[in-house]
Chain A
Amino acid sequence: MKPGFLQRLDLIARGSTPFVLTALLIVMSAIPTRIPEFAHIAPMLPLMAIYHWSIYRPDLLPAWAVFIAGLMQDALVGTPFGVNALVFLAVHMVVLSQQVFFTGKSFAVVWIGFAMVSAAAFVLTWALVSGFFGQSTGLMNMFFQYLVTLGTFPVLTWMLMLWQQRMLTTE
Chain B
Amino acid sequence: MTDRIRAIHSGFVQPGRGVGNRLMYVTLVAASLGLLLLGKADPELMERVRSNISDVATPILDTLSRPISSTEKVISEINLLADIRSENEKLRGENDLLLQWQSAARKLEVENKQLKGLLNFAPDAEPGFITARVIADTGGAFVRSLIAGAGLRNGATKGQAVVTNEGLVGRVQGVGTRSVRILLITDLTSRIPVIVEASRTRAIMAGDNSDRPKLIHLPPGAVVSPGDRVVTSGHGGAFPPGIQVGIITAVDEKGIMVQPFVQRERIEFVRIVDYGLKGILDAPSAAEGAGVSK
Contacts and interface: CB of A to CB of B under 8 A. Distances in A.
Given A89-B32, A93-B25, A33 B3 contact: no
Contacts of B4: 56, 103-104
B254 to A, nearest CB: 14
Interface in B24-51: 24-25, 28-29, 31-36, 38-40, 46, 49-50
Interface stretch (A4-12, A76-84, A113-121, A152-160): A76-84
Contacts of B24: 62-64
Contacts, number: 197
Given A59-B15, A63-B25, A141-B209, A135 B188 contact: yes
Contacts of B141: 40-41, 126, 137-138, 141-142, 144-145
Interface string A84-95: 011001000100
The dominant DSSP class at the A interface is helix
Contacts of A144: 141
A81 B36 contact: yes
Nearest to A97: B16
B147 A30 contact: yes
B163 interface: no
A86 B29 contact: yes
A34 interface: yes
A32 B35 contact: no
Interface residues of A, number: 67
A17 interface: no
Given A44-B140, A89-B28, 11 more contacts: A30-B147, A32-B265, A75-B49, A80-B39, A85-B32, A89-B29, A103-B4, A126-B141, A133-B188, A137-B188, A145-B140
A164 B145 CA distance: 34
Contacts of A77: 138-140, 142-143, 145
B142 A63 contact: no
Nearest to A57: B7
B235 interface: no
Given A76-B57, A77-B143, A32 B50 contact: no
A49 interface: no
B199 interface: no
Interface stretch (B58-66, B150-158, B275-283): B58-66
